[in-house]
């Protein structure tokens, strides 16, 4: 069975790409509010989430007045 073409959902930036969107969605992270509940390190530990995705998420969080959870 083919994997569905997962695009970012909610208010996650489209630029994060399909792989990161799929991984985040599988982890239950489908909005910037849910991203803000995690540290950068937690998200970087996920396969498919690298420094570029973290940068894009950080920019989107700041635009909404949010930030990553602090360690």
Task: State the pLDDT confidence band at 2, using cuts at 50, 70 and 90.
Answer: very low
Task: Say how many domains are in the chain.
Answer: 1
Supply 35's token pair: 């991203």
pTM of the model: 0.86
Angle at 26 between CA 25 and CA 29, to 5 degrees: 40
Task: State the pLDDT confidence band at 15, using cuts at 50, 70 and 90.
Answer: very high
Residue 47 has pLDDT above 70, yes or no: yes
Asked whether residue 5 is assigned to any structural domain, the reply reads no
Asked whether residue 25 is assigned to any structural domain, the reply reads yes
Asked whether residue 8 is assigned to any structural domain, the reply reads no
pLDDT in tens, 28-43: 999 999 999 999 999 9
Residue 3 has pLDDT above 50, yes or no: no
Whether residue 16 contacts residue 37, with contact meaning beta carbons closer than 8 Å, is answered with no
**Residues 12, 45: Cα–Cα separation, whole Å:** 18
Domain that holds residue 59: 14-63
Q: Which pLDDT value is given to residue 9?
A: 65
């Amino acid at each position: 069975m083919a994997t569905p073409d997962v695009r970012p959902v909610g208010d996650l930036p489209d630029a994060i790409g399909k792989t990161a969107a799929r991984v985040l969605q599988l982890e239950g992270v489908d909005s910037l509010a849910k991203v803000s509940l995690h540290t950068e390190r937690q998200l970087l530990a996920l396969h498919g989430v690298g420094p570029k995705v973290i940068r894009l998420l950080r920019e989107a969080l700041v635009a909404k007045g949010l930030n990553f959870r602090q360690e």
